[in-house]
Structure 1
């Protein structure tokens, strides 16, 4: 009998342990995973959120399951590592209450192969309250993530990921099909992997789009065909 809860959280735990070993030399303590459906939030970290005994306390990392149906697996992995850097900073660094994503956090992100960026693109501000990131070419994160996708199914079963049916609506778009195979485009090309015929692949219509300000490059997430402006720049935001 399938055990969805066990499979869902075991996968997150295995991914955490993998990146803890590869990027943090197994320094990070075990963590409690939860899911959040908070709008426009991919994930977050909270220190000492859980307690079992007087001495046994655990930090929390939350992941939004809506990502699993809307974004490639690489985005989920970036979000996980993003929050792991917050956890690292809480235990071994000096987190800032004022800016949240401070310079030390940004330097650690770069050390492990992720570039902080307020816009998610080259040239974006590297510190601030809300922060995205992009993969540094030929960096450590890119290297160990490619290794991850090439592991056998008995190591980390990426193909057992569960999706929110409200996102899938019974069909798979090409990106989700790639997630089920546990691959990203560049790895698929390198290994000549193909989608199985059993998967019904359709492009589908996106439930939400990313809108970007052409001036300051700030991004928001919203329904298709929104007519919204950037209050700071008075520019109309454009759908990506």
Structure 2
């Protein structure tokens, strides 16, 4: 396969597999994208982010950061996909809190699937909060189900060489030092270094790097 086809086919097949095995097929189709604007973020979910051109259908976005595909195991990368699928599950079947907040309902869903929420990504961290990662529960449901897809030969064939990233196409410059941030609630914009943690002063929610 060509790199684009190989990458997105793998992510789509993983989404369908986990939707079936962990969520009982309850999640609607979404658009999976790659994003590397915020290097410290493994991925994110954004509900109803895209609209059909010339139509009325809308779809969710699950973004994955390819900067971490090489530095983490495939199971860890797939756990990020399921982390974001839990946000999608809550958006359609639960009660989300304010934008980007990880509440108890989401945390309970994560834990039931074998992923322990933790704001440090390690045992003992807080299960809820504005910024919450997770770790794979040894012997838990996710670990067992993930072993099945890995045994079938699943792989992520391409990962970003972070230290050698070039500038945007046609810019003639090195990697950009500024990123656009958008408030997911009021859509206000701000610009700054890609690794900034910006909060909208009006909505008091984290702004998302575009």
**TM tier relative to shorter chain:** 0.7 to 0.9
- 1:167 and 1:9, CA in 2 relative to 1: closer, same or farther beyond 3 A? farther
Is the contact between residue 34 and residue 61 of structure 1 (CA under 8 Å) also seen in structure 2?
yes
- 2:199 corresponding residue in structure 1: none
Q: Pairwise CA RMSD of aligned residues?
A: 2.0
- 2:82 corresponding residue in structure 1: 81
Higher gyration radius (CA): 1
Q: Aligned equivalents of 1:102 and 1:72: distance in 2?
A: 27
- 2:160 corresponding residue in structure 1: 164
Within a 5 Å distance, the mapping from 1:55-70 to structure 2 comes to 55-70=56-71
Q: Aligned equivalents of 1:146 and 1:123: distance in 2?
A: 25
TM-score normalized with structure 2 length: 0.73
- 2:2 corresponding residue in structure 1: 3
More RCO (CA 8 Å, sep 6+) = 2
Runs of at least 5 residues in structure 2 that lack an aligned partner in the other structure: 166-194, 196-210
Runs of at least 5 residues in structure 1 that lack an aligned partner in the other structure: 170-221, 223-240
- 2:101 corresponding residue in structure 1: 100
- 1:204 corresponding residue in structure 2: none
SS in 2 for 1:147: helix
- 1:98 and 1:137, CA in 2 relative to 1: closer, same or farther beyond 3 A? same
- 1:99 and 1:84, CA in 2 relative to 1: closer, same or farther beyond 3 A? closer
TM-score normalized with structure 1 length: 0.64
SS in 1 for 2:70: helix
Displacement, 1:25?
0.3
- 1:98 and 1:26, CA in 2 relative to 1: closer, same or farther beyond 3 A? closer
- 1:137 and 1:167, CA in 2 relative to 1: closer, same or farther beyond 3 A? same
Is the contact between residue 119 and residue 126 of structure 2 (CA under 8 Å) also seen in structure 1?
yes
SS in 2 for 1:94: coil
Displacement, 1:56?
1.5
- 1:46 corresponding residue in structure 2: 46
- 1:216 corresponding residue in structure 2: none
- 2:31 corresponding residue in structure 1: 32
Q: Any runs of at least 4 consecutive aligned residues in structure 1 with deviations exceeding 2 A, and if so which?
A: 165-169
Q: Aligned equivalents of 2:99 and 2:11: distance in 1?
A: 30
